[in-house]
Structure 1
Amino acid sequence: MAHSCPPERLQAALDDVVSRMAARVRRGKVADYIPPLAEVDPQQFGIAVALNDGSVHVAGDADAPFSIQSVSKVFSLTLALGQVGDGLWKRVGREPSGNAFNSIVQLEHEKGIPRNPFINAGAIMVADVLLAGHKPRETIGEILHFVRALAQDDSITIDPLVARAEKATGFRNVALANYMKSFGTLDNEPEMVLGVYFHQCAMAMSCRQLAQAGGFLANGGRNPLTGFSVVAPERARRINAIMLTCGHYDGSGDFAFRVGLPSKSGVGGGILAILPGTASIAVWSPGLSEQGNSLLGTDALEFLSRRMGWSVF
């Protein structure tokens, strides 16, 4: 369902969001367990809205690149569904986890089948699917190529410093991969799968680029910038459904209650939110809530959705 969106009204709302967020004192805590992320200035804030007519409206630090981290899971999920279709759901569930994004407890109860593709174990499983028959370097290149094509921007890169830091500090992710391997649910060697996973999380994008990359999910599976079909309309709906129920980990219900948009967060402080039929929205503020979601990013999206009357409900 398309919402009317006069450009002047939208730009005024975005400018208002930026000024409101600039005045905020409590800004959350940056993800200090990945050293390069610990050095990011928490005062930064950016927002971009890519409408289905191809126009992009921005405010704040919308062109500053940041580590998209788990927002990348939306794109790897889309690619994996393209490769194996609904067969993917034999290997990963579609239910909210109710636990922290890096929890190992559920994995034991559910015998190595991750609860959904957006918790870390689920995204590692998706990376395993993408790796089938390829070298890690090829798979990483494929993910990057896909995101560049979606955003129509070849300047998007993977930050090697962040990728190295992910590997050096990712002990829980190593544990998750080894655990799934012990249950026989992971096909490839854990080290190879983790190489793909760490690099996809280290992708650096700006709000403008991220909003453009997510545009196909707002436009019935078709890229608004090129007119090409990325996925079938039904698949776009289903990816949006999983974003709504699982995209903010154990904070997903609260986010749906407050904002009412399918979305995916990352510990770099980015959030990609989708208003089907109208817009793809990217917001970035590095400080996180206790659940690992952008504190100001969530508040900004709540304000914007109220101001513009944007919600899927």
Structure 2
Amino acid sequence: MSFTTTIKEEILALPDRHPAELAALIKLSGSLGLSRAGLTLSVSTENAKVARFIYEFLLEWFDIRSDIRHHQKTNLRKNRVYTVFMEHGVKDLLDILGLSPAFFEQETGLPVSIMDHDNAARAYLRGAFLASGSMRDPDSGQYQLEIASVYVDHAQDLRQLMQDFLLDAKVLERKRGAITYIQRAEDLMDFLIIIGALGAMEQLGEIKLMRETRNDLNRANNAETANIARTVKASMKTINNISKIIDHVGLETLSPELQEVARSRIAHPEYSLQELADSLSTPLTKSGLNHRLRKLNKIAEEIPE
């Protein structure tokens, strides 16, 4: 199951409902028609559970009986499309939901009643996500939530609605409409809190934490590997110089302190400077050990080839 589906199913299971949810679904997925009985309204979705949600909402809140119809898409995806169809009480429903201007006067933005009330705004965002929202699977490492709108004005109002909740929302225009989107993981988590999808928010937080922990471990491992490589490289340079001293003048020509350092370095090429300093009969500081290693290197460099 996709993460988008996880969020939508959690929204559908919430106990509290608000008319603004239905308003968003109709605004984004609804279309008007005419029949012998008069005005009709169709709300389409590819999610059977969302269709059932709309059907039950209309019946329980507005005592409107509707039909659920379906057909198969003929494009490559061939998804099944569900349509909740109403042919009674359509005009009254649009008036109650504040959608009459949208359908009869071509007002493409959000109703002021939604923009100015916190609970209505949260509910509208829930409905908008149910209608045309999606979120990338956070396991992919890319965070993005988007809601598609037919009209740019509506996408811009959605952006403002999200920004009112301090989310860093943006709008991207496309050939067919526009999308309102957010990309920061923290904003995605806040959005899920705003719409009441707390389970999905916790899941996203866990995935984000695991990815960050894994990245931190990888960085630490890479840094440790680089440090080991540098240590080995420096160690081999010194060992080669010590071998040169042994071959040309002998270790016995060195002071006892330098002889001990030379022998310890050859015996333990994998030791870090601190480990090498601690291995001596009289432990040294890293600075003191470095001083002796530099002396050994200098002696080797002064030996004629």
TM-score normalized with structure 1 length:
0.25
- Structure with greater strand percent: 2
Greater relative contact order: 1 or 2 (C-alpha under 8 angstroms, separation 6 or more)? 1
Q: Determine which structure has more spread, i.e. the larger CA radius of gyration.
A: 2
TM-score normalized with structure 2 length:
0.26
